[in-house]
Amino acid sequence: MGAASLLLCVSVALPLLLGADECHVIRVLTEASSAKQPFAFSCTSPLLTSGKARVAWYRHPRKGPVPTDSQARIHQEQSWLVFLPVAWRDSGTYQCVINDTDMCRQVHVNLTVFENYGCGMSRNSQMNFPDGHEQILHVGKDDSLTCHLNFPKSCVLDSVKWYKNCKEIKGERFTYWGIKLLVNNVSEEDRGSYACEASLTHAGRQFTVSRRIAVNVTENVGREGRIPEITYPINNTIEAQLGSTLTVNCTITDSRDNTNLRSWRVGSTWVDVYYQESKRVQEGNE
What is the per-residue pLDDT for 263?
74
**pLDDT grade, residue 252 (50/70/90)?**
confident
Domain shared by 199 and 161, yes or no: yes
Phi, psi dihedral angles at 118 (to 5 degrees): 65, -140
Q: What is the pLDDT of residues 77-126, one digit of tens each?
A: 999 999 999 999 999 999 999 887 778 888 899 999 988 766 644 444 44
Asked if the structure places residue 105 within a domain, the reply is yes
What is the per-residue pLDDT for 229?
67
User: Structurally, how many domains does the chain consist of?
Assistant: 2
Domain shared by 101 and 178, yes or no: no
Domain shared by 129 and 87, yes or no: no
Domain shared by 105 and 182, yes or no: no
Asked if the structure places residue 175 within a domain, the reply is yes
Decide if pLDDT at 204 tops 80. Answer: yes
**pLDDT grade, residue 235 (50/70/90)?**
low
Asked if the structure places residue 283 within a domain, the reply is no
Asked if the structure places residue 262 within a domain, the reply is no
Q: Which residue has the higher pLDDT, 134 or 239?
A: 134
What is the per-residue pLDDT for 18?
38
The residue ranges of DSSP E strands in the chain, in sequence order, are 3-6, 24-34, 39-42, 54-59, 74-77, 80-83, 92-99, 104-114, 133-138, 143-146, 156-164, 167-168, 174-177, 180-183, 192-202, 205-218, 229-232, 251-254, 265-266, 269-270
Task: Please classify residue 195 by burial: count the beta carbons closer than 10 Å to its beta carbon, then call 0-12 exposed, 13-18 middle and 19+ buried.
Answer: buried
Q: What percent of the chain has pLDDT over 90?
A: 43
**pLDDT grade, residue 240 (50/70/90)?**
confident
Mean pLDDT in residue range 278-285: 72
Asked if the structure places residue 178 within a domain, the reply is yes
What is the per-residue pLDDT for 239?
67
Decide if pLDDT at 6 tops 50. Answer: no
Domain shared by 95 and 69, yes or no: yes
User: Do residues 31 and 108 lie in contact, with contact meaning Cβ atoms separated by under 8 Å?
Assistant: no
Domain shared by 108 and 82, yes or no: yes
Task: Please classify residue 220 by burial: count the beta carbons closer than 10 Å to its beta carbon, then call 0-12 exposed, 13-18 middle and 19+ buried.
Answer: middle
What is the per-residue pLDDT for 121?
46
pTM: 0.67
Q: What is the CATH number of the domain that holds 135?
A: 2.60.40.10
Of 160, 186, 220, the one marking the end of a domain is 220
Domain shared by 66 and 126, yes or no: no
Of 114, 149, 165, the one marking the end of a domain is 114
Distance set, CA 102 to CA 105, 170, 172, 240, 256 (Å): 10, 56, 58, 21, 41
Of 86, 114, 142, the one marking the end of a domain is 114
Domain shared by 37 and 102, yes or no: yes
Asked if the structure places residue 142 within a domain, the reply is yes
Asked if the structure places residue 73 within a domain, the reply is yes
**pLDDT grade, residue 70 (50/70/90)?**
very high
Least confident of 88-102, 113-127, 211-225, 260-274: 113-127
Per the structure, the complete domain to which residue 103 belongs is given by 8-114
What is the per-residue pLDDT for 17?
38
Asked if the structure places residue 269 within a domain, the reply is no
Mean pLDDT in residue range 170-176: 94
Domain shared by 182 and 88, yes or no: no
**Closest-CA residue to 197 (of 215, 207, 210, 178):** 210
**pLDDT grade, residue 189 (50/70/90)?**
very high
Q: Pick from 132-136, 212-216, 222-226 the range whose average pLDDT is largest.
A: 212-216
